[in-house]
Chain A
Amino acid sequence: MSATNISLRLLGNDTGARVFLAAIIVLTVMVPILNVAVPPGSPFHVPTYAVSLFGKYLCFALLALSVDLIWGFCGILSLGHGAFFAIGGYAMGMYLMREIGPRGVYGHPELPDFMVFLNWTELPWFWFGFDMFWFAVAMVVVAPGLLALVFGWLAFRSRVSGVYFSIISQAMTYALMLAFFRNDMGFGGNNGLTDFKDILGFNLQANATRITLFVFSGVALIAAFALCRFIVASKMGRVLIAIRDAEARARFVGYRTDMYKLFVFTVSAVLAGIAGALYVPQVGIINPSEFSPLKSIEIVVWVALGGRGTLYGAVLGAISVNALKSYFTALAPEVWLFLLGGLFVLVTVALPRGLVGLRGQLAWRRADRGAPEPKPAEREPAT
């Protein structure tokens, strides 16, 4: 197999991936144009709030991608991935808080409003450095990555897998949620971090800033997609699938499966953190409820609905479920939770391969209970 033919490696014969990339590129280009070039009266105009809304969806898509990487290809079901998203979000949030400077309600040049409210006199040590953008960006990558390294090392080295891993990953995010809700932690307590003014000097409310953030989200999604494709199309992808299906066997062939899992888990966590960091400036707030187990499990439903193990299925699932959510929470909020719960059941019972696998599934004849359908494999020939 030639190492030079990167684009072939990335896209191969996968029409799904090609369609996906095309769609995202079109979206990333068209939305800003429709916002700026088309006058507000026209039905094609995309209002500014919608730009941020779509940007939010793209961040969620990136988050879903990170979960599909480890779940669809390596069989690691993390029910606490929201934690990495939230940590990345908080890192960006801390930078944005410091950017407020003396323009806060209490007017303190250094301390954010909530600290003044708590009668604190100086910035806690872990806030240092966050007045510099590059530092915050570094933290967006380092903080979730470090947590993933530690947690993953503890878990994978002791061969915790399957359901046990899912449960303790949920416990991890639950513990973090409890911690971040405490006012004395120094992260804004139950109100979180909000009231942001600008980023790198650009006003967050300005049209141009929003468009830029949106475009960045789109670019990040495409880049992440490329990265994930690179990983799964390489030999590592084969190893990950082998680990997913028969980990013991993979070990007997000589692969350090715990290290491989740790590697993808960490990469996945960093991607989730980046998603969080792009999300926060677009929605204007980060609070501890992002750590809640429900949020993390929702991500899994996005991926499951879209179809895991395909990467673009995860994106499809994320965007469709969140679009549904926006629609219903505006229209009839009480109905949404019923719908979401129903979606969970529907996906697991009726759509094991998600939406993208629907066509294939309808053609597949169901065997007796207990005989599983073949899992989606890498469809690229290995030449």
Chain B
Amino acid sequence: MIDPSEMPSGKLAAGKSILVLDNVSVSFDGFKALNALSFVVMSGEMRAVIGPNGAGKTTMMDVITGKTRPDQGRVVFRDRHDLTRLDEPRIANIGIGRKFQKPTVFEALSVLDNLWMALKADRRIRAMFTFTLSSANRARIDEVLEVTGLTALRNDLAGSLSHGQKQWLEIGMLLVQDPDLLLVDEPVAGMTDAETEATATLLRTISKSHSVVVVEHDMEFVRALDVPVTVLHEGSVLAEGSLDAVQKNDAVIEVYLGR
């Protein structure tokens, strides 16, 4: 578990955990993607998750968001919701948002429509016909457009955006969705240095009022985030602590560099 003395910006918020994975195992046709994984995120915390390919990072996200059912183990959100029993829409609606590794936005809709759709609002069918954009929400969308630098492209089809712009749009969608827990999978893949830095700043701002889990390979980015790090390997937690502590850990070195 995390040693408070090693945490650079201790943020044990209300002392409650927002997400608990307890002894979670998943196998696909004999291959163990997650192996008795135990992982806790405290409320208001931002955590970085790193690990070599195949370590189980994306599978872990799949389990949390309901895409994959674990063979065993508990996954609990806010001490209240058993995520292994809920499906993706329900999990999204109780407050967990996900940004994917490969930017998946709705290409045939405009940037504005994408944000409009992701907006935190009633998702039921009947609400679709009575939907109106309140001024508060309109302002919020404008703000997000501003933050993600897409204001000028608001009416363009999302499919015509560049790769980096799509990443930002997806982050923007996550912002307007306003979930309590954000799961961000490789947010800076394919971004320039400037964009990477901007993303780090954005995430740090977000984490002030939300809980965030970031999966990344880019170590400079992780360093810039300045948060506790969890290292995954072969489906379970290998080490946890600050980036420096983790980078000095023998087991971690062996796994990354080999002997």
User: Do A and B belong to a common assembly?
Assistant: yes
B89 and A234 contact, CB distance less than 8 A: no
B128 and A242 contact, CB distance less than 8 A: no
Which 3 A-B pairs rank lowest in CB-CB distance, beginning with the nearest? Answer: A254-B92, A236-B128, A251-B88
B117 and A374 contact, CB distance less than 8 A: no
A242 and B157 contact, CB distance less than 8 A: no
Indicate if B22 sits at the interface (CB-CB under 8 A).
no
B129 partner, pick from A2, A234, A245, A381, beta carbons under 8 A: A234
Binary CB contact string for chain B from 11 to 39 against chain A (1 if under 8 A, 0 otherwise)? 00000000000000000000000000000
Chain A residue with Cβ nearest B108 = A377
Indicate if A3 sits at the interface (CB-CB under 8 A).
yes
What total of chain A residues lie within 8 Å of the partner, measured CB to CB? 34
A235 partner, pick from B65, B131, B157, beta carbons under 8 A: B131
Known pairs A1-B132, A251-B88, A381-B155; A236 contacts B125 (CB<8 A): yes
Indicate if A151 sits at the interface (CB-CB under 8 A).
no
B92 partner, pick from A3, A252, A260, beta carbons under 8 A: A252
B88 and A235 contact, CB distance less than 8 A: no
Task: Name the distance in Å between B99's Cβ and chain A's nearest Cβ.
Answer: 9
B106 and A242 contact, CB distance less than 8 A: yes
CA distance A202 to B196 in the complex (A): 75
B116 and A251 contact, CB distance less than 8 A: no
Query: What does DSSP make chain B's interface, helix, strand, loop or mixed?
Result: mixed
Task: Name the distance in Å between B44's Cβ and chain A's nearest Cβ.
Answer: 22
What total of chain B residues lie within 8 Å of the partner, measured CB to CB? 37
A235 and B116 contact, CB distance less than 8 A: yes
Indicate if A282 sits at the interface (CB-CB under 8 A).
no
B109 partner, pick from A241, A257, A259, beta carbons under 8 A: A241
A375 partner, pick from B108, B125, B155, beta carbons under 8 A: B108
A239 and B133 contact, CB distance less than 8 A: no
Indicate if A174 sits at the interface (CB-CB under 8 A).
no
For residue B87, which residues in chain A have a CB less than 8 angstroms away from its CB?
A: 251
A253 partner, pick from B127, B155, B173, beta carbons under 8 A: B173
* CB within 8 Å of B: which A232-248 residues: 234-236, 238-239, 241-242, 244-246, 248
**B residues at A contact (CB < 8 Å):** 65, 67, 87-89, 92-93, 97-98, 100, 104-110, 112-113, 116-118, 123-125, 127-133, 155, 157, 159, 173, 177
A259 and B125 contact, CB distance less than 8 A: yes
For residue B92, which residues in chain A have a CB less than 8 angstroms away from its CB?
A: 251-254
Known pairs A251-B89, A254-B93, A377-B157; A245 contacts B132 (CB<8 A): no
Chain B residue with Cβ nearest A237 = B128
* CB within 8 Å of B: which A102-119 residues: none
Chain A residue with Cβ nearest B112 = A382
Indicate if A249 sits at the interface (CB-CB under 8 A).
yes
Indicate if A20 sits at the interface (CB-CB under 8 A).
no
B65 partner, pick from A234, A252, A255, beta carbons under 8 A: A252
For residue B65, which residues in chain A have a CB less than 8 angstroms away from its CB?
A: 252
CA distance A381 to B132 in the complex (A): 15
A252 partner, pick from B98, B110, B128, beta carbons under 8 A: B98
CA distance A239 to B121 in the complex (A): 13
For residue A242, which residues in chain B have a CB less than 8 angstroms away from its CB?
A: 106, 109, 117
A254 partner, pick from B112, B123, B131, beta carbons under 8 A: B123
For residue B133, which residues in chain A have a CB less than 8 angstroms away from its CB?
A: 1
A234 and B131 contact, CB distance less than 8 A: yes
Indicate if A127 sits at the interface (CB-CB under 8 A).
no
For residue B125, which residues in chain A have a CB less than 8 angstroms away from its CB?
A: 236, 259-260, 263
Indicate if A18 sits at the interface (CB-CB under 8 A).
no
CA distance A256 to B90 in the complex (A): 8
For residue A235, which residues in chain B have a CB less than 8 angstroms away from its CB?
A: 116-117, 127-129, 131
